[in-house]
Structure 1
Amino acid sequence: MTLPSPDDRFVSTALYSVSEDAWHLELHRVDDAGALVLAVVPDEDPAQQPSVSFATRGRPSESFWDVPYEVMRWFMDQVDQQVRESRGWMGLRPELVAVVHRLREEHRGWILDEDLPGVLAELRATVPEAELPTVLEAAFGRTS
């Protein structure tokens, strides 16, 4: 997905890297194919932290790129939103994070309707009933 920035000289792209289990958000100049800034937001492993990298190119005098403050702020707002959406569940209690992580690993983020009753029975043995919707939302994007 490509989004234009407030300054029409820049765009942002968001791609999912399956091999890294992470979102890649890139800030580009419209007239240049290379990314100026790359943000990586892991969404599967709570031990992996988001990171931001800046491109360097050519000779030292050519390795700096002017990015207006408002564009950088806009891009970092996008990164912040992606962190909240992808990693919000990682702010749950540690025991719930462990349950969600296991479910996401086991089911890869989705579950068939016919498998849900078995998973719910298993969860009810370890997760308080009031927190089941939160766990299901974090693991599968659904509350029932």
Structure 2
Amino acid sequence: MPVQHPSHDYAITAMYSVPDDAWYLELDLVAEQRNLVTAIVPDEDPAREPTVCFDPRGSHMDVPYEVMRWFMDQVDEEIRTSRAWMRLRPELVEVIHELRQEYQGMIDDDRFPHVLAEVRARVPEADLPAVLDAAFGRNPDGTAVEHPKDTP
């Protein structure tokens, strides 16, 4: 569902591209149903950086500063939440990246204790919550991690 700018003239649509392992945030001009800017936020590969793209074939369009600032704030929040784990120590980023690649961010309850034991053998106990959250969205006890944007 698009997020409307307070002016209702612009909206942001967010979608996940599985083949790209990235979030796409599109700033649209609502009345013309026209995409103005697309931000791409990879969330699987620490080597890939977020990018912002403008349609090179599109005609010139003036976007008010406050609208662009609003869009970039949304992009910044997506980067922060999708890529926060990439700011951890390099050895933790490596473990998380491996887990995300192997398990695609999902693990069933039956397999979790086995993987938890493997992760405990590789990372210090103090880092366990951050690694499990980034890799699977779980706490060490196996429950789902609740993030502020997850709650109403």
Tell me the TM-score range normalised by the shorter chain. over 0.9
CA distance in 1, matches of 2:3, 2:55: 20
Aligned: 1:131 with 2:130: no
State the match for 1:3 in structure 2: 3
Question: If the length of structure 2 is used for normalisation, what is the TM-score?
Answer: 0.88
CA distance in 1, matches of 2:9, 2:125: 51
CA distance in 1, matches of 2:56, 2:112: 48
CA distance in 2, matches of 1:81, 1:110: 23
CA distance in 1, matches of 2:32, 2:45: 33
- The percent of aligned pairs where both chains have the same amino acid is 60
CA distance in 2, matches of 1:56, 1:105: 33
State the match for 2:49 in structure 1: 49
Q: CA RMSD in A?
A: 1.1
Question: If the length of structure 1 is used for normalisation, what is the TM-score?
Answer: 0.93
Q: CA deviation at 1:9?
A: 1.1
1:59-78 aligned at under 5 Å gives the runs: 63-78=59-74
SS in 1 for 2:110: helix
Q: Tell me the amino acid that sits aligned with residue 83 of structure 2.
A: R
State the match for 1:104 in structure 2: 100
CA distance in 1, matches of 2:94, 2:32: 42
CA distance in 2, matches of 1:142, 1:88: 15
In the alignment of these two chains, the number of paired residues is 140
Q: CA deviation at 1:49?
A: 0.5
Structure 1 outlier segments of 4+, above 6 Å: none
Identify unmatched segments of 5+ residues in structure 2.
141-152
Q: CA deviation at 1:33?
A: 2.7
CA distance in 1, matches of 2:35, 2:111: 42
